[in-house]
Chains A and B, each alone.
Chain A
Amino acid sequence: MTVKQLQELLNLRCISEGSEDRQLEGGFCGDLLSWVMGYGQYGQAWFTIMGNINAVAVAALHDIGCMVLCQNSTMQPNALEKAKEEGIWVFTTDMPVFEACGKYYEAIK
């Protein structure tokens, strides 16, 4: 699935764009950054509520496929600026992490 297809599937709002044809390789959810670095993997869709600059750094350094900020969580302005600069896909949604992950999992399993 591409990032664009995920956006369509979950009806996500895009707040930062990356490369158009970015492919996703599964997903990961978590808010503890070192946990994400330890167990998350390259190319995954990352479902989280953590929208600070450190989260963006993790997404960039780990080459995460996209970030999905769930349950109306927001991205801090300096973090959003950084995400745009790094070309990281960032989406927001009203859905809780559980629901967003569940729908995605259902679609790719």
Chain B
Amino acid sequence: MEAIKFSYTVPGDDFTRAGDASTDLKSKLKKMGVTGAPLRNISISLYEGEINLAIHAGGGEITALVYPEKVELYLDDNGPGIADISLALQEGYSSATEEIRSLGFGAGMGLPNMKKYADEFHIESEVGKGTHIKMVVNL
């Protein structure tokens, strides 16, 4: 069965708009009958990804593919990339600035939360080229 596709462009450094894609996808999925824990898991893991795109990558693209049994989320950016992925995946590690921290981010839980709430989490990153993340949440 062909997936239903939703695409979003996340602007860089605009934290008032970060969350728009996650909120929009959540309301669309709700209308499609997705509820409960899967809906929350999709919302949270995507929001963390969206914030990362805004904070660290200068923006990026989000693609959501909705299947009857799962939702696939793709986050792609052409940002600075992550030099040490295993370090970035550790809870508490953060490279966020003071300004970002004052907004309530930078707890070093972004990638760990994405991994925690998604049923599948894949990340590829190259310094100077960007980061590509795929998450799957089962419905």
A-side interface residues toward B, CB under 8 Å?
Answer: 31-35, 37-38, 42, 50, 52-55, 57-58, 60-63, 78, 86
Contact = CB atoms under 8 A, between A and B. Distances in A.
Interface residues of B, number: 26
Interface string B104-121: 111111101100100000
Contacts of A54: 15, 18-19, 51, 103-105
A98 B16 CA distance: 29
Contacts of A86: 23
Residue from B15, B40, B107 whose CB has the most chain A CB atoms within 10 Å = B107
B104 A50 contact: yes
Nearest to A48: B104
B43 interface: yes
Given A52-B103, A57-B19, A61-B23, A38 B109 contact: yes
Contacts of A32: 104-107, 109
A34 B19 contact: no
Contacts of A78: 16
B69 to A, nearest CB: 22
A60 B40 contact: no
